[in-house]
Structure 1
Amino acid sequence: METNMVGWFEIPVSDMDRAKTFYETVFKVDIAIHNLGGLLMGWFPFTEGKEGAAGTLIKQESYIPSKEGVLIYFISDNVQNELDRVEDAGGQIYQPKTQISPEYGYMGVFIDSEGNRIALHSKA
């Protein structure tokens, strides 16, 4: 395989405005909302040629938010930065900043405004 395994991700939401505000607050980014024939998507910023996968918030009846499903890791400079903004944005800390190992860095997990379990990873 010539590329990284993950090329796209979708995070289910019940309330697009609430989820957009949550993620914009936690990550300090702008999310662009697109209505594709009844499929409402909130695209995360993406720059071609940079590391990492592109992805979206997604609202449609077949997408149900859950903290039991697949776990997505967002890359961070320091996971504590985002964790510090989670509760004020309407989420909750699920696992505080935890060292994986000296060589692999740190992780933390939160529950977003929609009930999804989302992880963070950083070297510091």
Structure 2
Amino acid sequence: MNAINWFEIPATDFARATRFYEQILAAPLHIDGSMGTKLAVFPYTQGEGIGGAVVEMPQARPHADGTRIYLNAGADLDAILQRVPAAGGSVVMPKTFLREDIGHIGMFSDSEGNVIGLHSPN
């Protein structure tokens, strides 16, 4: 069992936030509004892993001190961090080694002001 099965990153400007994540992750997000809420869903296979989305709704506001999530950065965390400024965000923590069995983390502030972590085993 995974401790997390879904996450949502709040946005005040949905289109801007969607472009930001598509640009830094170099992957398209799936737009879904079927539940009456704007969702830009990160790539994942339902039933296999953890899903999440950028979301715009009145109950969720971006904030730097909110819940911290760590996105899977794959093998190249530096590549994602390097794309952050051009996408409209800023690097908060550069690639930082934790331990051999954990790997590296980094953090960035997204286009909406949320601080998001990245994790990579390398």
User: Identity over aligned residues, as a percent?
Assistant: 37
Q: Deviations over 1:41-62 (max 9, x none)?
A: 1111112464x41001110111
Equivalence for 2:85 = 87
Root-mean-square deviation (Å): 1.3
Contact 1:13 1:58 in 2 (8 A): yes
Contact 1:32 1:42 in 2 (8 A): yes
TM-score normalised by the chain length of structure 1 = 0.92
TM-score normalised by the chain length of structure 2 = 0.93
Corresponding pairs, count? 121
Runs of 4+ in 1 over 2 A off after TM superposition: none
The separation in 2 between residues aligned to 1:97 and 1:62, in whole angstroms, is 32
Deviation at 1:103, TM superposition (A): 2.1
Structure 1 segments unaligned to the other structure (5+ residues): none
Of 86, 98, 101, the match for 1:100:
98
Q: 1:37 to 1:8 in 2, by over 3 A?
A: closer
Structure 2 segments unaligned to the other structure (5+ residues): none
Amino acid at match of 1:105: G
Equivalence for 2:57 = 60
SS at match of 1:42: strand
The separation in 1 between residues aligned to 2:16 and 2:7, in whole angstroms, is 19
